[in-house]
Amino acid sequence: MKKLLSIALVFSALVFTGCFKDDDTPIIIEEVTIINNNNGGGGADECPVVAVTGAITEDTTWTNDNIYQLNQKVVVEAGVTLTINPGTIIKGSPGTGSLASALIVARDATLNAQGTADSPIIFTSTSDNISCGQTAGTNLDQNDRGLWGGLIVLGNAPCSFSGDITEAQIEGIPADDTFGLYGG
């Protein structure tokens, strides 16, 4: 229990240290918290669930000894690297449209996620009973789709827009949220 409390305090400190800039309105809604050691997998290798919301504003590594739960849009901001270690499980909470949970890699941000055949990085729904050390849950199949928003990677590649337009806003992200821009 002391270890979980220590982990929660470290994550909270990291989130709040890097979230605020003098000229930004922070989009963080909740702090990162350890939810519980019971994530529904039922296996011997259950591990803490780390709730993640808002912006990732400094280089961060997600490890395979936790399950990361996206409770809303989580944005890797420009200039920041999110590293996801092999074997890590990321679960998205239910939601659709602009309310869907998603991991968004903004333009000029970096996602370093290199799983292996034996230790894949798994993006799934919070409905999935998969646990640490597993490569599949037992309660979902290929017909269970649209349970969360997904992974969105935005870049600077030239796009075929009409006229002089060089960038656009991705669908499902409110137009006033600049982290949804792509093209360049």
Per-residue pLDDT tens digits for 45-82: 578 999 999 999 999 999 999 999 999 999 999 999 99
Q: Tell me the longest C-alpha to C-alpha distance in the chain.
A: 59
Paired with 105 in beta bridges are 76, 153
pLDDT at 35: 52
pLDDT at 25: 37
pLDDT at 170: 84
Q: Are strands 49-56 and 33-34 parallel, antiparallel or unpaired?
A: antiparallel
Per-residue pLDDT tens digits for 144-175: 888 999 999 999 988 888 888 888 888 878 77
Query: How many CA within 13 A on the CB side of residue 140?
Result: 17
Per DSSP, the three-state class of 91 is strand
Helices then strands, counting H and E runs in the chain, come out as: 1, 12
User: Looking at per-residue confidence, does 183 or 22 come out higher?
Assistant: 183
Cα dihedral 88, 131, 153, 71 sign: negative
Q: How far apart are CA 160 and CA 167, in angstroms?
A: 10
Per-residue pLDDT tens digits for 24-38: 434 333 444 445 544
CB contact at 8 A, 84 and 103: no
Lowest mean pLDDT among 2-11, 125-134, 135-144: 2-11
Q: Where are the domains of the chain?
A: 2-154
pTM above 0.85, yes or no: no
